[in-house]
């Protein structure tokens, strides 16, 4: 890591120019404070219309029965459109392959190439991205405490880098351009050294324009295997499910913003839901089978409420550890970047639909509506499970090792917060109709926006107009101006309040790189079943207390994992300073 770090350099994080090979600092090296829209004059609307947006003219698809606000008809986002593979004949690209498992041992090397692929989704072919020609990328399986070398080759049409999400690795390999490395220019390479100290399920993805690169297929899982043979309960089979979505209109992907992301208000919420990159997941099982699902949400913005056709679900683990005790749950709520390990038992033959079932809000008529998307079908035949793990499934395990680990941190649970953040947003130069609507639709805020209830307004908002904010309550500093230094091996209690009175309140999955943390309380209620996390969902209006185990030295990003919110500024850096000895 280069020291001292200059803020101007930090501001380039995840916002490198899309010009191939270029690494220009972010346009706004010092984050500006956007003028509140409540004070906006009609003239700003006119200014908005002055951009050259001839290739952004495709209207965003609206949900059935929901009209586009007349004042927004014909308006387009003030950015140049971008889709990958300009000038490339999609028919000449290799078709994306299914994920392959790569088993690596300590000291092994993986070659990981990001490149263009052809993906055919619902009969339509698109130029998209993949790692090693696969979507999702290779499933890397390593033993706990292994260290591997990853030779990354960028064969995209833009700069990139690879972040090893949730892994407490050495800072220089964290994959954050402008902070831990330079972006890897198109055609160039970079070598990561990745160690895996914690068992569990992790993932890798770019940390450059995630709103584009991750959305187009650059993601993959890492499974770190514990040496304990009974780390998990016995099951009949295991499945890795990476949950994503894609926004299409007819035969075309809705273009991305070249200089700045579109959908900056809510993030891009796709209208085609995908499991492992495919719109129809399928699985065959026997009656009585217990299936362990490793779930990773790789969507830009969507939070899922997942269930398996009424099959009982047992929660086992999350981001960086198992839970203290297993629980039966009605469904799995999983925000972007989170992981959950769950088990489900299919006790009878039949077809079990894997569904995302949520209550959406139609903001125009002020009503809730049930939305159910079927992500796939699990077909269970009448042959009996062999072996039958019904007894083991029924037993809810207590993981005393997790509790013993957490016990060491309980003395810190009642300390006053060391830091506190408020989550909010500032906007400028949004279309007038958007501002008018947002200003009047303030009587109620949903703690979670499960769907995009206002796609027209969302599409027209860009990172030029929307600035999502992490504000340090003690100093008033925001985003990359926040300058936290904490001592290695200290415990940091951070209180995060998601301000419901902002212009557009929304939930934020806050991710901290390179450390692990406990969500110790929500809205004053202590968590009573802990698992170590690296990403915590902060609903609108909620106050969430995190206890960060700051054991890993370096400069680490903390940011919202809604890709467009990240690109719109919602990020800060926490320095864990060297000096204290490693904790035993």
Partner 1 sequence: MAFAWARCSVLATMLVTTHAGPFDIPLFNTPLAPTAQGEARLVFAHSPFGVAVTADGHARYDVSLRVSGLPVPASLGTYSAFVAWEVSTDLSHWHRLGAVTNGQSTVGQAELDKFLLVITAEPNADVVSHTGPTVLHGTSPSGWLQSFLSHPLFRGLPP
Classify burial at 501, counting beta carbons within 10 Å of its beta carbon; exposed 0-12, middle 13-18, buried 19 or more: exposed
User: Which strand ranges, in their side-by-side order, compose the sheet holding 554-560?
Assistant: 483-487, 571-577, 554-560, 508-512, 535-538
Give yes or no for a contact between 100 and 134, defined as CB atoms under 8 angstroms apart. yes
Q: How far is the CB of 526 from partner 1 (least distance, A)?
A: 5
Q: How far is the CB of 318 from partner 1 (least distance, A)?
A: 8
Residue 86 or residue 525: which is nearer to partner 1 going by CB? Answer: 525
Residue 162 or residue 451: which is nearer to partner 1 going by CB? Answer: 451
Q: How far is the CB of 315 from partner 1 (least distance, A)?
A: 5
Residue 318 or residue 428: which is nearer to partner 1 going by CB? Answer: 318
Give yes or no for a contact between 199 and 226, defined as CB atoms under 8 angstroms apart. yes
Q: How far is the CB of 521 from partner 1 (least distance, A)?
A: 6
Q: How far is the CB of 111 from partner 1 (least distance, A)?
A: 37
Residue 285 or residue 446: which is nearer to partner 1 going by CB? Answer: 446
Residue 122 or residue 529: which is nearer to partner 1 going by CB? Answer: 529
Q: How far is the CB of 451 from partner 1 (least distance, A)?
A: 10
Residue 315 or residue 574: which is nearer to partner 1 going by CB? Answer: 315
Q: What is the DSSP code string of 122-177? A: TTEEEEEEEETTBSS--EEEEETT-EEEEEEEEESSS-B--EEET----GGGS--B
Give yes or no for a contact between 161 and 177, defined as CB atoms under 8 angstroms apart. yes
- Residues 53 and 47: their CA atoms lie apart, in Å, by 13
Q: How far is the CB of 516 from partner 1 (least distance, A)?
A: 16
- Any idea what DSSP says for residue 179? T
Q: How far is the CB of 541 from partner 1 (least distance, A)?
A: 3
Classify burial at 444, counting beta carbons within 10 Å of its beta carbon; exposed 0-12, middle 13-18, buried 19 or more: exposed
Q: How far is the CB of 568 from partner 1 (least distance, A)?
A: 23
Give yes or no for a contact between 166 and 319, defined as CB atoms under 8 angstroms apart. yes
Q: How far is the CB of 59 from partner 1 (least distance, A)?
A: 16
Q: Give Rg (Cα) of the chain.
A: 23
Residue 73 or residue 101: which is nearer to partner 1 going by CB? Answer: 73
Q: What is the DSSP code string of 4-67? A: SPPHHHHTTTT---SSTT--PPPS-SS---PPPGGG--HHHHHHHTTS--GGG-PPPPPPTT-P
Residue 437 or residue 484: which is nearer to partner 1 going by CB? Answer: 437
- Residues 218 and 129: their CA atoms lie apart, in Å, by 6
- Residues 23 and 17: their CA atoms lie apart, in Å, by 6
Distance between terminal CA atoms of the chain?
25
- Residues 211 and 218: their CA atoms lie apart, in Å, by 11
Q: How many CB atoms lie within 10 A of CB 119?
A: 22
> Of 576, 557, 558, which is closest to residue 496 (Cα–Cα)?
558
Q: How many CB atoms lie within 10 A of CB 410?
A: 13
Residue 179 or residue 531: which is nearer to partner 1 going by CB? Answer: 531
Residue 170 or residue 456: which is nearer to partner 1 going by CB? Answer: 456
């Amino acid at each position: 890591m280069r020291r001292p770090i200059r803020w101007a350099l930090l501001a380039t994080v995840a916002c490198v120019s899309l010009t191939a090979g270029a690494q220009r600092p972010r346009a706004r090296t010092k984050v500006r404070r956007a003028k509140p829209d409540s004070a906006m004059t009609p003239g700003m609307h006119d200014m908005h219309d002055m951009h050259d947006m001839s290739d952004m003219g495709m209207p965003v698809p609206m949900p059935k029965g929901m009209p586009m606000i007349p004042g927004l008809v014909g308006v387009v986002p003030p950015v140049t459109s971008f889709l990958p593979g300009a000038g490339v004949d999609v028919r000449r690209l290799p078709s994306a392959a299914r994920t392959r498992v790569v088993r690596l041992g300590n000291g092994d090397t993986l070659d990981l190439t990001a490149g263009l692929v052809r993906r055919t989704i619902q009969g339509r072919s698109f130029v998209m991205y993949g790692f090693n020609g696969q979507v999702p990328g290779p499933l890397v399986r390593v033993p706990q405490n292994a260290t591997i070398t990853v030779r990354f080759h960028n064969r995209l049409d833009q700069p990139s880098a690879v972040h090893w999400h949730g892994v407490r690795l050495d800072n220089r390999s964290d994959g954050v351009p402008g902070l831990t490395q330079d972006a890897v220019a198109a055609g160039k390479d970079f070598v990561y050294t990745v160690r895996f100290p914690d068992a569990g399920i992790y993932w890798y993805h770019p940390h450059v324009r995630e709103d584009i690169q991750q959305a187009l297929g650059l993601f993959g899982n890492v499974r770190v295997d514990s040496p304990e043979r009974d780390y998990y309960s016995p099951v009949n089979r295991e499945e890795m499910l990476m949950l994503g979505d894609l926004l299409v209109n007819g035969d075309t992907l809705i273009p991305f913003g070249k200089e700045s992301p579109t959908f900056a208000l809510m993030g891009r919420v796709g209208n085609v839901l995908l499991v492992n990159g495919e719109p129809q997941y399928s699985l065959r099982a026997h009656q009585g089978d217990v299936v362990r699902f490793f779930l990773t949400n790789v969507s830009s913005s969507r939070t899922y409420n997942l269930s398996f056709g009424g099959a009982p679900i047992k929660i086992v683990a999350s981001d960086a550890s198992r839970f203290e005790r297993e629980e039966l749950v009605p469904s799995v709520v999983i925000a972007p970047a989170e992981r959950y390990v769950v088990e489900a038992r299919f006790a009878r033959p039949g077809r079990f639909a894997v569904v995302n079932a949520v209550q959406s809000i139609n903001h125009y008529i002020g009503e809730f509506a049930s939305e159910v998307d079927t992500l796939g079908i699990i077909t269970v035949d009448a042959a009996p499970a062999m072996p039958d793990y019904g007894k083991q499934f029924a037993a809810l395990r207590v993981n005393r090792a997790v509790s013993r680990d957490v016990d060491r941190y309980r003395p810190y649970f009642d300390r006053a917060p060391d830091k506190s953040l408020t989550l909010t947003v500032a906007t400028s130069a949004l279309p007038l109709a958007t501002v008018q609507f947002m200003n009047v639709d303030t009587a109620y805020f949903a703690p979670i926006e499960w769907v995009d209830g206002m796609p027209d307004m969302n599409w027209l908002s860009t990172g030029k107009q929307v600035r999502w904010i992490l504000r340090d309550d003690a100093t008033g500093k925001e985003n990359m101006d926040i300058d936290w230094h904490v001592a290695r091996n200290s415990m940091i209690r951070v209180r995060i309040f998601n301000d419901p009175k902002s212009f557009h309140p929304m939930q934020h999955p806050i991710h901290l790189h390179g450390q692990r943390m406990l969500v110790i309380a929500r809205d004053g209620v202590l968590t009573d079943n802990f698992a170590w996390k690296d990403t915590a969902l902060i609903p609108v209006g909620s106050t969430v207390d995190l206890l960060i185990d700051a054991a890993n030295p370096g400069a680490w990003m903390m940011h919202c994992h809604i890709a467009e919110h990240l690109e719109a500024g919602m990020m800060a850096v926490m320095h864990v300073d060297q000096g204290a000895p490693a904790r035993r």
